[in-house]
Amino acid sequence: MSISEEQVRNEVRAWLEENWSPNLDLVEWRLKLADSGWGMANWPAEWYGRDLPVSLVPAIDEEFNRIGALTIPKSGIRMLAAATILNHGSDMHKEKFLKRIITGEDVWCQLFSEPGSGSDLAGATTKAVMVGNKWVVNGQKVWTTSAHKAHWGLLLARTDMDETKHRGLSYFIIDMNQPGVETQPLMQMNGHASFNQVFLTDAEVLPDFQVGEMGDGWQVATTTLMHERRAADSLRSWGQASKGDGPIYDQERVETETTMQPYKWYPQRAGRVDLIMDRAKETGAINDPAIRQEIAKLMTLHKSAEWTARRARAAQEQGKPQGPEGSLGKLAASNVARTAAKVHTLISGADAMLTGEDSPMDGTIAEILVSFPASSIAGGTDEIQKNIISERVLNMPKETRFDADKPFKDIPRNTVS
Amino acid sequence: MKFSFSEEQEEFRSFLRRFLEEKSPTTEVRRLMATDAGWDKDQWQKINTELGLTAIAIPEEYGGQGFGLSEQCIVLEEMGRSLICAPYFSSAVLAANALLYGASEEYKKKYLPEIASGDLTASLAFTEESGTWDIPSMTMCANKNQGVYNLTGVKSFVLDGHMSDLIIVLAKVDDNSGSQRLSLFSVEGTAAGLEKKLLNSTDQTRKLAKLIFNEVEATCISTEEDVTDAMQKTFLKSCIGLSNEMVGGAERLREDTLEYVKMRMQFGRSIASFQVTKHKATDMLADVELAKSAAYYAAASFDDEESDIAATASIAKASASEAYMQTAINAVQMHGGIGFTWDNDTHLWFKRAKSSEVFLGTADFHRELMMQSWDQ
A33 & A132 share domain:
no
Nearest CB partner across the interface for A396, out of B281, B290, B364: B281
**Does A367 reach chain B within 8 Å, measured CB to CB?**
no
Residue B79 has pLDDT above 50, yes or no: yes
A175 & A51 share domain:
no
Angle value at C-alpha A355, between A353 and A361, nearest 5 degrees: 105
For residues A32 and A40, what is the distance between their CA atoms, to the nearest angstrom?
11
Q: Are B188 and B175 in contact (CB under 8 A)?
A: no
Asked whether the CA dihedral B229, B234, B239, B243 is positive or negative, the reply is: positive
Backbone angles phi, psi at B68, to 5 degrees: -90, -175
Pairwise CB contact (< 8 Å): B279 & A390: yes
- The answer as to whether A346 is a domain residue is yes
Query: Tens of pLDDT along A208-226?
Result: 999 999 999 999 999 998 8
What's the pLDDT at A150? Answer: 95
Nearest CB partner across the interface for B375, out of A286, A385, A395: A286
- The answer as to whether A283 is a domain residue is yes
What's the pLDDT at A380? Answer: 86
Which of A207, A231, A255 delimits the end of a domain?
A231
Residue A229 has pLDDT above 90, yes or no: no
What's the pLDDT at A227? Answer: 83
Please give the mean pLDDT across all residues of chain B: 96
Query: Tens of pLDDT along A42-100?
Result: 999 999 999 999 889 989 999 999 999 999 887 788 999 999 999 999 999 999 999 99
Q: In Å, how far is B195's CA from the nearest CA of chain A?
A: 39
Q: Are B337 and B260 in contact (CB under 8 A)?
A: no
Contacts of residue B83, Cβ cutoff 8 Å, sequence gap at least 6? B24, B26, B29, B205, B249, B348, B349, B352
For residues B326 and B292, what is the distance between their CA atoms, to the nearest angstrom?
14
For residues B229 and B102, what is the distance between their CA atoms, to the nearest angstrom?
9
Pairwise CB contact (< 8 Å): A394 & B281: yes
- The answer as to whether A131 is a domain residue is yes
What's the pLDDT at B87? Answer: 97
Please give the mean pLDDT across all residues of chain A: 92
Pairwise CB contact (< 8 Å): B3 & A318: no
Instruction: Tell me which chain B residues have a C-beta less than 8 angstroms from the C-beta of A385.
Output: 282
How do B122-125 and B166-174 pair as beta strands? parallel
- The answer as to whether A404 is a domain residue is no
- The answer as to whether A247 is a domain residue is no
Q: Are A117 and A125 in contact (CB under 8 A)?
A: yes
Q: What residues form DSSP beta bridges with B144?
A: B149
A49 & A137 share domain:
no
Q: What's the N-to-C CA distance of chain A in angstroms?
A: 55
**Does B282 reach chain A within 8 Å, measured CB to CB?**
yes
A83 & A168 share domain:
yes
What's the pLDDT at A142? Answer: 96
Domain count, chain A: 3
pTM of the model: 0.91
Closest Cα to residue A147, out of A75, A200, A92, A190?
A: A200
- The residue range of the domain holding A33 is 1-72
A108 & A201 share domain:
yes
Query: What's the whole-number mean pLDDT along residues A391-416?
Result: 90
What's the pLDDT at A107? Answer: 93
**Does A57 reach chain B within 8 Å, measured CB to CB?**
no
What's the pLDDT at A337? Answer: 97
Q: In Å, how far is A8's CA from the nearest CA of chain B?
A: 30
What's the pLDDT at A233? Answer: 55
The interface predicted TM-score (ipTM) is: 0.94
Query: Tens of pLDDT along B22-50?
Result: 999 999 999 999 999 999 999 999 999 99
Query: Tens of pLDDT along A256-312?
Result: 888 888 889 999 999 999 999 999 999 999 999 999 999 999 999 999 999 999 998
A62 & A85 share domain:
no
CA atoms in the 13 A half-sphere facing the CB of B104: 12
Instruction: Tell me which chain A residues have a C-beta less than 8 angstroms from the C-beta of B282.
Output: 331, 385-386, 389-390, 394
**Does A318 reach chain B within 8 Å, measured CB to CB?**
yes
A175 & A39 share domain:
no
- The answer as to whether A125 is a domain residue is yes
What's the pLDDT at B307? Answer: 92
Query: Tens of pLDDT along B233-247?
Result: 999 999 999 999 999
- The answer as to whether A300 is a domain residue is yes
| Residue B284 binned pLDDT confidence (cut-offs 50, 70, 90) | very high
* Domain at A165, CATH number: 2.40.110.10
CA atoms in the 13 A half-sphere facing the CB of A333: 20
A59 & A85 share domain:
no
Query: What's the whole-number mean pLDDT along residues B10-20?
Result: 96
Higher pLDDT, A376 or A75: A376
A41 & A128 share domain:
no
A84 & A59 share domain:
no
A222 & A361 share domain:
no
**Does A303 reach chain B within 8 Å, measured CB to CB?**
yes
Interface test with chain A among B278, B362, B366, by most A beta carbons within 10 Å: B278
What's the pLDDT at A321? Answer: 79
Q: Are B151 and B173 in contact (CB under 8 A)?
A: no
Q: Are B320 and B291 in contact (CB under 8 A)?
A: yes
Pairwise CB contact (< 8 Å): B370 & A315: no
Query: Tens of pLDDT along A300-321?
Result: 999 999 999 999 888 888 888 7
Higher pLDDT, A247 or B45: B45
**What domains appear along chain B, each with residue ranges and CATH number?**
7-120 (1.10.540.10), 124-226 (2.40.110.10), 229-374 (1.20.140.10)
Nearest CB partner across the interface for B290, out of A308, A383, A393: A308
- The answer as to whether A392 is a domain residue is no
A121 & A220 share domain:
yes
Helix or strand holding residue A152 (H, E) = strand A152-158
| Residue A1 binned pLDDT confidence (cut-offs 50, 70, 90) | very low
Residue A186 has pLDDT above 50, yes or no: yes
Residue A373 has pLDDT above 80, yes or no: yes
